Amino acid sequence: MALIHFILNLAALLLWVKWCSQTAPAPAPSPALAIGSLARRRRPHDAPWLLPVALTVLLLGRALFYWQLSPASNWTATLDLAVVTLSFRSDFAGQMLLYSLASFTAWLAVLYLSLLLLVIVNRDISTHVPGMRWVRTQLRWLARSPLAIKLLLPWLTFALAWIAASFLLPRIGLSPPAGSLVRILGQGALVGTAAFLSWKYVITGLLLLHLLHSYIYLGNHPFWGFIEETGRQCLHPMRWCPLQLGRVDLAPAAVVAAVWFGSKYAALGLTWLYGHLPR
């Protein structure tokens, strides 16, 4: 069931990305391509409304699927928020629906945090670099905002979402009573901070691909140009550290190790703080 849930979340995320890509404002084409671009945008078989419908059917349908089959497979639906884990009753249709929506929302949050990291890391890279135009288009106005807004707005959004959820979750049996207002606010701040720990996945993936591309020629696809530029930007803070061993560059491995160990102990620290907030 866990593998099926992973695949369904991935499929839902791809539907969302495809829908957002179709509805995002397109960059102004050059005069030579204007007529062709207009013709492509007016193709009669384009139906962007099908994607949100398919996404809705997928999220609702899998909730019904989990409700029917999870009790027999002895599978417990859990949502890991780094500092707290929520467990959902698979024999309750309402909780399975909530789990389907909440787990997809968590994946969506990781996606946009990853795009935000790419924008922050590649802030000096031109939009003409393959991939960056698409990334900035997905974030819209947030991609052009100051760094403080890029960091503060997601943190505040996650914190407020948890504060709102803390009043609902005890009512449906997903968490104990929230406690004092100070505790609720502290929990929201910690959940908002812990959300950024998901950056370890995109940093690791980027640097491993960058390392692979550095030693193996994988073609001249624009994707590899994007990986090369982004990996170079990620490693820029390590330029002062001598991590070159002959022809082998140890910087990517060092950064990946530092990110994973740092994330692990940061999660432990945040979890400890979450459990010791005043009641």
Nearest to 224 by CA among 216, 232, 213, 234: 213
70 CB burial (10 A radius; 0-12, 13-18, 19+): buried
In this structure, is residue 69 part of a structural domain? yes
C-beta of residue 174 within 8 angstroms of C-beta of residue 165:
no
Which pTM value belongs to this model?
A: 0.85
Task: Provide the token pair at 177.
Answer: 């009573």
In this structure, is residue 216 part of a structural domain? yes
In this structure, is residue 143 part of a structural domain? yes
In this structure, is residue 32 part of a structural domain? no
- State yes or no: pLDDT of 47 exceeds 80: no
Q: How confident is the model at residue 26 (pLDDT cuts 50, 70, 90)?
A: low
pLDDT tens per residue across span 153-210 = 999 999 999 999 998 888 888 888 878 889 999 999 999 999 999 999 999 998 888 8
In this structure, is residue 37 part of a structural domain? no
Tally of structural domains, the chain: 1
In this structure, is residue 202 part of a structural domain? yes
In this structure, is residue 60 part of a structural domain? yes
Expressed as residue numbers, the domain containing 210 is: 2-23+47-275
In this structure, is residue 199 part of a structural domain? yes
Cα separation, 80 vs 84, whole angstroms: 6
- State yes or no: pLDDT of 5 exceeds 80: yes
pLDDT tens per residue across span 87-135 = 998 888 899 999 999 999 999 999 999 999 999 988 776 556 667 888 8
Q: Show Cβ contacts of residue 115 under 8 Å, excluding neighbours closer than 6 positions.
A: 135, 138, 139
